[in-house]
């Protein structure tokens, strides 16, 4: 069997879909479904079990798994409950790391580009302790992910035992099907698509930084299919371990993203720019762009979808259909 934590979530459910499509039905999901319709992300899937996180330690006792893909986390960058975030994102991850080490099971886990903070130290996925210690995440979520990266790097530096394969993935701005339960953490494309289609005005943030135009704040947008392709490659390549950026390596603006949606529908853009709330101005990132050299040097050659092609696929295959779920 193969375990996917957070398997009912956005990236996790897409990984489960890819595993099913590759012929694997022996998939176990660890997640909480809640009452917000998150179950729909798994409605088309075949699973062995769905295990609540609190029951996972007992469930794992005595089991042998092919691999653990650990994507479960509190991923809201606006989260404020420090104790809950650390318990969920750090301590739970440490227990999984210890279990995978003892059981000899590969562990692929989600880190985040949020670990880079304001990008002042760049976006280089150097996994050495000295490099990681320079990073200053700007929010609780990013810090919780950074703590786990540091813990793994510390074990590497000290020659401590680790799983036979370990890979941390610093996801950049992922978008695609099955993100609909994420509310304000959905991509701006998913949040604003109905407005785009209806011809209503779409609001983007004005720039509050000299030299940057309104709507020209940039992110490394990556389609979820590309993220899943990297994870599937790692599962098939157990000789590769390390900490890797997962982005396209090309920063694009929020305006580019929305213009691609209008183009996909063949409609005229209707974009307005509004002031950014003062509460987030001080911590707002104006630019993220991954360096993917290490992933390529490790042997990955799956390529990345262009923003325009990714938006076109997302719109045509999901957002502009009655059933938007993968």
Annotated catalytic residue, options 182, 197, 250, 312:
182
Residue 145 assigned to a binding site:
yes
CA–CA distance, 86 with 77 (Å, rounded to integer): 13
Helix (H, G, I), strand (E, B) or coil at 122: coil
Overall residue count recorded for the chain in this entry: 326
Is 219 marked as a binding-site residue? yes
36 is in an annotated binding site: no
141, 262, 314, 318: which is the annotated catalytic residue? 141
End-to-end Cα spacing for the chain: 22
Residue 31 assigned ligand-binding role: yes
Q: Is residue 86 annotated as involved in ligand binding?
A: no
**CA dist., res. 244 & res. 112, Å (int):** 10
**Sign of torsion over alpha carbons 249, 75, 116, 163:** negative
Task: Measure the CA–CA gap between 161 and 159, rounded to whole angstroms.
Answer: 7
CB 177 within 8 A of CB 40: no
Q: CA Rg, the chain, in Å? A: 19
Is 174 marked within a binding site? yes
| SS3 (DSSP) at 312 | helix
205 is in an annotated binding site: yes
Q: Does 280 belong to an annotated binding site? A: no
- Phi, psi of 317, deg, nearest 5: -90, -20
Residue (of 99, 261, 282, 90) closest to 192 by Cα position: 261
283 marked among binding-site residues: no
> Was 180 annotated as part of a binding site?
no
Tokens (6 digits) for 264: 């996909």
Give dist(CA 118, CA 76) in Å, integer: 17
Active site residue 300: no
314 flagged as catalytic: no
74 known ligand binder: yes
206 annotated to bind ligand: yes
Contact call for residues 121 and 136 (beta carbons, < 8 A): yes
Q: Is 239 annotated as a binding residue?
A: no
Say if residue 207 carries a ligand binding annotation.
yes
CB atoms within 10 A of CB 324: 17
Burial track 208-238 (b if 16+ CB lie within 10 A, e otherwise): eeeeeebbbbbbbbbbbbbbbbbbbbbbeee
- Do the annotations mark residue 133 as ligand-binding? no
Q: Provide the CA 86 distance to its chain's centre, in angstroms.
A: 18
11 in a labelled binding site: yes
Q: Which residue positions form the known binding site for substrate?
A: 173, 184, 205-208, 219, 284
Q: Which residue positions form the known binding site for NADP(+)?
A: 10-11, 31-32, 38, 71-75, 145, 174, 182
Question: Which are the catalytic amino acids?
Answer: 141, 182
Q: Which residue positions form the known binding site?
A: 10-11, 31-32, 38, 71-75, 145, 173-174, 182, 184, 205-208, 219, 284
């Amino acid at each position: 069997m193969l375990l996917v934590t957070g398997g009912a979530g956005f990236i996790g459910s897409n990984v489960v879909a890819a595993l099913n499509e590759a012929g694997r039905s022996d998939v176990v999901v660890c997640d909480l479904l809640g009452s917000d319709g998150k179950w729909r992300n798994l409605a088309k899937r075949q699973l062995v079990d769905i295990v609540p996180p609190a029951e996972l330690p007992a469930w794992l006792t005595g089991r042998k798994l092919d691999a653990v893909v650990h994507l479960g986390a509190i991923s809201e960058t606006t989260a404020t409950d420090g104790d809950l975030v650390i318990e969920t994102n750090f301590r739970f991850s440490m227990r999984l790391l210890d279990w995978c080490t003892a059981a000899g099971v590969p562990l692929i886990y989600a880190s985040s580009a949020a670990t880079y903070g304001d990008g002042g130290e760049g976006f280089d996925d150097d996994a050495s302790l000295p490099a990681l210690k320079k990073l200053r995440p700007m929010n609780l979520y990013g810090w919780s992910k950074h703590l786990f990266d540091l813990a793994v790097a510390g074990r590497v530096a000290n020659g401590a035992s680790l799983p036979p394969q370990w890979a941390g993935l610093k996801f950049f701005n992922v978008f695609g099907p099955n993100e609909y339960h994420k509310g304000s953490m959905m991509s701006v494309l998913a949040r604003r698509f109905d407005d785009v289609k209806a011809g209503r005005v779409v609001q983007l943030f004005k720039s509050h930084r000299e030299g940057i135009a309104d709507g020209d704040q940039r992110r490394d947008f990556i389609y979820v299919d590309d993220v899943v392709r990297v994870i599937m490659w790692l599962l098939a390549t157990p000789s590769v371990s390390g900490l890797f950026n997962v982005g396209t390596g090309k920063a694009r603006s929020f305006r580019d993203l929305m213009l691609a949606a209008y183009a996909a529908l063949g409609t005229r853009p209707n974009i307005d720019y509004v002031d950014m709330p003062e509460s987030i101005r001080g911590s707002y990132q104006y630019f993220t762009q991954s360096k993917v050299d290490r992933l390529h040097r490790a042997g990955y050659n799956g390529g990345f979808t262009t923003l325009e092609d990714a938006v076109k696929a997302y719109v045509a295959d999901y957002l502009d259909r009655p059933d938007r779920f993968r």
